[in-house]
Amino acid sequence: AVGRPLALAAALEDAAGLGHGAAVRAWCEESLALVTAAGADRARARLEPKLGTVAAVPPPEPDPAETCLSQLTPAERKVAIEVGRGRTNIQIAETLFISRHTVDAHLRNIFGKLGIRRRVELATLVAQEGRTT
């Protein structure tokens, strides 16, 4: 599950559902930490009641020195810039010579990395960084 924190979190949550004793709480806490760091709000909301606490692990603070687009891979950055230009997924796929499914995958990764939920938020971030030209 290296490089796949949400898969590890799901496995820990499943193990906690089957286990008993102190290990269950540790697995839930680790799972909560992973989903919180990944910004998976629904998974976090599901895990918090199991621990009997609210927000046992605070969300990570973003590094203000790091720009949003610098967190992305080069391919993700290209897709983000095209979104900033107002292009649809199909237009982006044609422009970058990739499939629309690859565009979808990049957007899911981008949204997760940047902690955003809507395309317009991405376009706004791209415009703020002046990368649409």
Q: Give residue-wise pLDDT tens across range 91-123.
A: 999 999 999 999 999 999 999 999 898 998 898
Top-confidence residue, 68 or 104: 104
DSSP string, 113-124: HHT--SHHHHHH
Indicate the residue type of 40.
Answer: A
Indicate the residue type of 130.
Answer: G
Question: Does position 49 have pLDDT exceeding 70, yes or no?
Answer: yes
Top-confidence residue, 96 or 10: 96
CA distance 131 to 133: 6
Q: How many beta carbons lie within 10 A of that of residue 1, not counting itself?
A: 12
Question: Which residue segments constitute the domains of the chain, with CATH numbers given?
Answer: 5-51 (no CATH), 69-128 (1.10.10.10)
By percentage, how much of the chain surpasses pLDDT 70? 81
Whole-model pTM? 0.51
CA distance 97 to 93: 6
CA distance 72 to 112: 10
CA distance 31 to 14: 10
| CA R_g for the chain | 18
pLDDT of 44 reads: 80
